[in-house]
Amino acid sequence: MELLVHGGAGSEPEEPDRRWRDLRRAVRRGRKRDRPLTAVRAAVRHLESAPRFNAGVGGAVQSDGTVRTDAGIMGSDGVCGAACAMPGVEHAVEVARVVAEETPHVCVAGERAVALAGAFDVGTDRDLWTERTRERWREADVPAPAGGDGGSVRDQLAAVRDRFGGTDTVGAVATDGDRLAAATSTGGRWFALAGRVGDVPQVGAGFYATAQAAASATGEGEAIARFGLARRAVAAVADGDDPGTAADRVVRGFAAETGGRAGVIVADRSGRTGHAHNAEAMGTAGTGPG
């Protein structure tokens, strides 16, 4: 099994060594699995529980003081699912899998996605806050949550315009030389308007897989969604690029077209992997050399 994971494209991380160890552990978890889909799930699950990444525990906080999680998963065998805007769900990737395997849908959102998680024994009501997220939230001094009236939503929107940002989503791509899979999971971006959903659970934006290639993206979700980063990376492989060249080419195209910051990891069917980003940093680890 060839597997590559990322811990988000963004600024230079605090505690890079500990993050690197978490990424390595995620690879070890994933590589033992017998299918690319279960490999990416296992790797992403591990990173969702690691508090130094913006996914599951340690996820970004939205403008109303709630951590909401999103994820998407896709395999070359046609499995495709996503789930988003879920408070209290640590393993968003498991809900995405439930959507893919147990429903006729591609994406389920919000409180109904949490109910779906509960119905299929995915943990809910988890405390996703860490000491670090509490501190960051306190320091930001965001106005009190909107009580459902339009005026205070507008106040929150005004407040988030200046504060909104941040990345550190997690993702994985895998292949066994025959099948491919990709998965991505996030808490979204810090101080986004409550209910905001980015690229991660959008097919072709945050994740994509076909019989030729699989890709997982990270970075500025609004720009990634407009550009369709993961789908374009997969298309570049289908057009003949190796994964490294494909990643490089689409990130350069993304930067030129959107002016945004992003990264992508890519695997092809022959087991080659590659990655590229135009942020300050993007942590990756894989089964391949380096």
Catalytic positions: 169
Per CB under 6 A, the segment of 79-87, 137-145, 184-192, 230-238 that binds ligand ASP is: 184-192
Helix or strand or coil: residue 255?
A: helix
Q: How far is the CB of 53 from ligand ASP (least distance, A)?
A: 9
Kindly indicate which of the ranges 75-83, 139-147, 167-175, 239-247 contains the residues binding ligand ASP, using the contact rule CB under 6 A: 167-175
> Counting contacts by CB under 6 A, is residue 199 touching ligand ASP?
yes
Nearest alpha carbon to residue 114 among 98, 100, 102, 129: 98
Sequence-ordered list of residues with C-beta below 8 angstroms from that of 256, at least 6 positions apart, any chain: none
Closest to ligand ASP by CB, 99 or 200? 200
Position 175 contacts ligand ASP (CB under 6 A)? no
2 binds ligand ASP (CB under 6 A): no
Indicate the SS3 state at residue 173: strand
Whichever of 1 and 74 has its CB closer to ligand ASP, that residue is 74
Q: At what angle do helices 36-49 and 92-102 cross, to 10 degrees?
A: 150
> Using the rule CB under 6 A, which residue among 63, 133, 167, 273 binds ligand ASP?
167
User: Per rule CB under 6 A, is residue 185 in the interface with ligand ASP?
Assistant: no
- Shortest CA distance to 68 belongs to which of 104, 113, 38? 113
Token code pair at residue 103: 């429903």
Q: CB-based burial of residue 276 (10 Å sphere; 0-12 exposed, 13-18 middle, 19+ buried)?
A: buried
**Which residue has 């994971």 as its token pair?**
5
Q: Which residue's beta carbon is nearest to the bound ligand ASP?
A: 221
**221: contact with ligand ASP by CB under 6 A:** yes
| Phi-psi map region of 128: left, alpha, beta (phi>0 left; psi -120 to 50 alpha) | alpha
Task: Quote the radius of gyration of the chain (alpha carbons, Å).
Answer: 17
Part of the chain binding ligand ASP (CB under 6 A), chosen from 101-109, 110-118, 165-173, 278-286: 165-173
Minimum distance from residue 171 beta carbon to ligand ASP (Å): 8
Verify binding: residue 188, ligand ASP, rule CB under 6 A. Answer: yes
Residues that bind ligand ASP (CB under 6 A): 8, 54, 167-169, 186, 188-189, 198-200, 218-219, 221, 224
